[in-house]
Structure 1
Amino acid sequence: MSSTPEAVIAQIQAASAAYAEKKPGAREQLLNLGYALVSSVELPSEAIQRMGWAEPAKAAHCRIAVELKLFELLKESGEQGMTAKDLATKTGADEVLLTRTLKHLAATNVVAETGDDKYIATRLSNAFTEPRFRDGIIYTYDVAGPSFRGLPEYLKKIKYALPTMLTDGPFQAAHKTELPFFAWLDQNPPYLEAFNSYMAAYRAGKPSWVDPGFYPISERLIEGFDAGSGDGVILVDVGGGLGHDLQELKEKHPSLPGKLILQDRSEVISTVSAGAFQATAHDFFTPQPVKDARAYYLHSVLHDWGDDDCVKILEQLKPALKPGYSRLLINEIIVPDRNPTWPVTSMDQLVFVLGAMGERTEKHWESILKRAGFKISRIYNYEMGSESLIEADLA
C-alpha cells in the first residue's frame, strides 16, 4: 500500500464505492485506509501527542463517563442535549471537570458539542450505554489496560525474553498476582461478568461464520445430519461463554435441526440465561462427554493456550468425533504471512499481555492440528476479515 496521502485518498475513493455496494470486506478496507491516511499526513510530533496523551485521555474519560453514567444521561436528553452544569447537578461531579472531560470526548468524536458548553449523544456514545459495550470499556481499561501500561517495564525487567507461561507474564506483573488470567477473573466476579458480557460485543457488526456466504452450513452441517447419532446433537460449543454464538446460529438458521450444547467452566455456566441450547459445565482438558455430534466448535479458545495445551484440548475431543461424520470447527484469527491488519496484530498483543500467548499463522494451525490427529479440510474467511473458520476432520 502506497503511503502518500494522494495514493491513499485514491484508494479510499475506490473503497467507498465498494462500501456503498455493501461488498464484503469494504468496510474493513475503508477503516484500514482511514488509519493509513492519518499516518500519511500527521507529523511525528502529532503522532506522539495522539499516542502519548490524546488516546490515553480518551480511554480514561470514557471509563469515567461509564462510571458517572454520562452516556446514559446524554442519550436520555435526546436532541436537546445537556450542559456540563446540568450533568454536574445530576452526577455530583465538578462542573469544570466535566466540561474538560466532555470537550475532549467531543474532540475525539465520542460525543458532540452543539453549542456553548452544550453536548449531545452520538451513535458511538449511545452504543456505550449498551451493557455489552459498557462492560467492554470497563474490562479493557481496568483489566487489560494495566498490563499494556506496565509492559515496557516488565519486558525490561526480564531482559526482553519472550514470556510463555500463563502464570508469569505481563498480566501477573501488572495485577500483582500469580493466578492465570481466567483464574483471576473467577476470583473477581465483577470483572468476570464484564468480560463475559463484552465477548458478546467483540464481533458485533462484523460478518459471522453463520452468515450467508461465509460457511456453507446447509451443505456442511445440515445435509447428512443424523438425528440418531450423538443423541441428536448437531453442534457442541466448547468453551462457548454465555452462548452468544449458539444464540446467533439459531436466530439466523431457525430451521436448524438437532440439539445445541453449550459447554464452559462452572463459574461461567452458572451465569447463563436460558436459551436455544443446553448449557453444561465441562473442563475441556477432560474427555468430551458428548459423543458422535455433527460438529464440535471452538471460538477464540485455543489462542489463550500454548501449543502443547492446544494439543491436549484437541486430543480430548478426538475420541468423541465419529469418523466420516463429525467435524471440528475452529473459529480463530489466522495471521497472514504478510501485512496483517491492526485488528489482527492488536488481538495478538492482547493475548500476549493477558496470557503470554499469541495468534497463529496457517502453518502453525496445521502443525497443532496434525499433532492432535486432525487434518484441515478447508479454511473459510472473507476479504479483510480478522477471523477465519477452520474446518478439520480426523486424520
Structure 2
Amino acid sequence: MATTEQSLFDRAPGDPYRVLDEDGRVVDGATVPDLADEQLLAMYREMRTARHFDERMVSLQRQGRIGTYSPLAGQEAAQVASTHALREDDWISYQYREHGAVVVRGLTPEYVRYWMGYEEGNASLVDQHIVPLNISIAGHIPHATGMAWAAKLKGDDRVVACHFGDGATSEGDFHEGLNFAGVFDTPSVFFCHNNQWAISVPRDRQTASATIAQKADAYGFNGVQVDGMDPLASYAVSRAAVEKARNPADGEARPTLVETLLYRFGAHTTADDPTAYRDEAEVEAWREKDPIPRFEAFLRDRDLLDDERVATIEDEIEEEVAAVVREAEDVEPDPADLFADAYAEETPRIREQREYLERLRERHGDDALLRDE
C-alpha cells in the first residue's frame, strides 16, 4: 500500500481526514484524489440527484403516495463517494438511508415501488449488487461479513461494503459482525455514518469511546474517521479501504471501519419530528458544511461548472427523477399480495381471509375495494 494511503489509517482519534474545507477549498497539506474530470462531475450530478430524489420522496410521503421513508439530506457525499470507490461487482449492504449508493448504481422505478409497498422493488436491488435492505438495526452486519468471508473462501476478489448508522454500534450484531471479520480477515469495509443522532438519542449516549472508529482496535483492524460531508476525503478513505480489503499487503488486516462524520438535515424518518429533540441552531451550524455547495465550489474553481451547466444539470435531474416516479406509479396493485408472504406456509386463518377477499373481488371488483366500499 502506498505511504499516502497508509497515512489515512494512522491518524489520531478525533482527527478526521479532510480534503475540502466548508467553502470548497483544498485544506493545507491535503492531496486531491486523482479522479478524471468526468468522474468528478458524475459524483456531483449523483449527489444532486440523491438530494432531489430525497425531496421528491418526502413530498410523495406527505401526499400519501408512498409509505414511511428515511431522508438522506446531508449525507450524500459519503454515500456517493464510497460507492465510486467500489467496483460495479462489489456488493453493498446498507441500512435504509443510503439512497445515494442506489443512485450511483442506477435509480429505477422498482426502487421507488419498494417504498410504495412493493417487495419486488427491494428484491430488484440484487441486479445492482445491492443486498435487499432489512430495516432491523444492525441485523445486516453479520450477513455482510458472511458474504465477504464467502468471497474470500471462493477466491473471489470482490469486496463487501456495509453501511449503518451510529445507533447500530450499540447492537450486539455490530460487535459480532466486526469481531468475526477481524478473526477471519474478511474483505469488508464497514461504513458507520455517524450523523450525530440515532433517532432522538445523541451520539454521546451511544458510547463512551472518544470515537466510533477506534472500536476497530478491539477487532484487530484499522478504524479511521473521515469528514463525511467532504466527497473527496470520503472517496480517498473509501478507496484506500477497498484496495486494502481486495489486495492486502503481507500481514495487513483486510477489514476497515470507516466512521464518516456527518449530519442528517431532516428527520430520522417521515414518522419522526426532530424539533422535539434537536436545537435548530445545531442544524443550521451543520448546514454550513452542506456537501453539495461545498463540492460545487471546488468544481467551479476548476472551471468544471458554471451557472449554465448547473442549471442544465438541475433540469436534467428533475426530469429524470420525475420519469422514474411516473413509471413507478404506473402499476396496478394486486390485493392478494397482502397474503403472499405472511407465513412460509399458509395458515387456516390466512386462507380464510384470502378466500374472503376473493369473494369480495368477484362480487364488487377491485375498484370498489380500493374505494373501501
Question: Normalised by the shorter chain, which TM-score bucket?
Answer: 0.3 to 0.5
Larger radius of gyration: 1
TM-score by length of 1: 0.32
